């Protein structure tokens, strides 16, 4: 039986990944925070695991005080450093390491993929760059390494959609700011299938954009959700309100990147939910 170890296993994506791989016959281990700080325990986990998935990180949608920025940074970098350090010491190394990043690494000038891109130079983008660089050190150890840059993950029972449903159901939903910012998303089911796909295709490694093939806008998402719920969407959330609530962290909501999953598509991955309408309809109706 193959063994999979996950950091961030109690989160929305982690919980669903655990179910997926357990249903496929894997023994799944959640790596706890205290185990990340215990070199001996962590080494034992690494040496007995065939796959390591790194999902750990403090919630990005929050008020970004200087203190919280350090939390965002340390929760990602310290975890990744601990994992890579343990892999370096391990006599038996995992066959695959998949670490997480975000599409916030890109600029919002135009649409980008893994081959054609420009990186932004702000806190979130630089956090992603440092996070990825740390994870890619596993490749130097001879471990097949993949970086999954998440778009906005939409699924039932958690994540971004779960937080949005209540105001929309009450008829209080609306665009964020002017609404034309890009909204690169992925249905949870497609995201989970991408993990299986990369695991099963042993030649795949490097950076992958985890986004649907047809990027949307915040306006299109708002209208699709309102239509699926049969509710009005006439109350936009002013950008200045989000700036007051989240400070610099409002950028996650008011800004957006147009991103395409070229590498997955080029390698034959088939998305079940390619556009925002099919995604929202499946999750809401």
Classify the C-alpha dihedral 38-40-41-44 as positive or negative.
positive
**Category of 34 on φ-ψ map: left (φ > 0), alpha (ψ -120 to 50) or beta:** alpha
Is residue 27 helix, strand or coil? Answer: strand
**pLDDT tens column, 43-76:** 999 999 999 999 999 888 788 889 999 999 999 9
Query: What is the rounded CA–CA span in Å between residue 28 and residue 225?
Result: 34
* Nearest CA among 110, 115, 272 for reference residue 191: 272
Task: Report the alpha-carbon distance of residue 161 to residue 29 in Å, rounded.
Answer: 27
**So what's the pLDDT on residue 266?**
98
pLDDT at 241 (0 to 100): 65
Percent of the chain scored above 90 by pLDDT?
75
Q: Which residue did the predictor score with more confidence, 123 or 177? A: 123
In this predicted structure, the answer to whether residue 249 has a pLDDT above a threshold of 70 is no
For the chain, what are the domain ranges?
A: 3-152+185-211+260-271
Q: Is 3 left (phi over 0), alpha (psi -120 to 50) or beta?
A: beta
Architecture of domain 3-152+185-211+260-271: 3-Layer(aba) Sandwich (3.40)
Q: What's this model's pTM, rounded to 2 decimal places?
A: 0.94
- pLDDT for residue 103: 95
Distance (Å, whole) CA 202 – CA 95 = 9
* Per-residue pLDDT band at 214 (split at 50, 70, 90): very high
Q: Looking at the predicted structure, is the pLDDT value of residue 105 above 80? A: yes
In this predicted structure, what is the pLDDT of residue 61?
Answer: 77
Using the 8-state DSSP alphabet, how is residue 61 labeled?
S
């Amino acid at each position: 039986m193959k063994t999979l170890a996950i950091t961030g296993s109690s989160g929305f994506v982690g919980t669903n990944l655990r179910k997926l791989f357990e249903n496929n016959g894997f023994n799944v281990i959640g790596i706890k925070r205290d185990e990340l700080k215990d070199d001996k325990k962590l080494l034992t986990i690494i040496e007995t695991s065939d796959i390591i998935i790194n999902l750990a990180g403090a919630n990005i949608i929050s008020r970004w005080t200087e203190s919280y920025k350090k939390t965002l940074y340390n929760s990602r970098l310290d975890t990744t450093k601990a994992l890579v350090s343990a892999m370096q010491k391990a006599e038996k190394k995992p066959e695959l390491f998949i670490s997480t990043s975000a599409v916030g690494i890109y600029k919002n000038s135009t649409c980008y993929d893994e081959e054609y891109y420009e990186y932004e130079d702000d806190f979130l983008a630089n956090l992603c760059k440092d996070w990825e660089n740390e994870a890619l050190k596993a490749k130097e150890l001879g471990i097949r390494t993949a970086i999954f840059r998440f778009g906005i993950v939409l699924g039932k029972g958690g994540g971004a959609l779960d937080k949005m449903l209540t105001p929309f159901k009450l008829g209080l939903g609306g665009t964020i700011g002017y609404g034309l910012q890009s909204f690169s998303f992925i249905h949870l089911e497609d995201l989970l299938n991408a993990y299986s796909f990369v695991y099963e295709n042993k030649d795949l490694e490097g950076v992958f954009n985890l986004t649907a093939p047809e990027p949307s806008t915040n306006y299109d998402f708002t209208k699709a959700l309102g239509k699926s719920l049969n509710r009005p969407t006439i109350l936009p959330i002013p950008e200045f309100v989000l700036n007051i609530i989240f400070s610099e962290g409002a950028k996650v909501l008011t800004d957006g990147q147009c991103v395409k999953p070229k590498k997955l598509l080029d390698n034959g991955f088939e998305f079940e939910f390619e556009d925002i309408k099919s995604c929202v309809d499946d999750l809401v109706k």
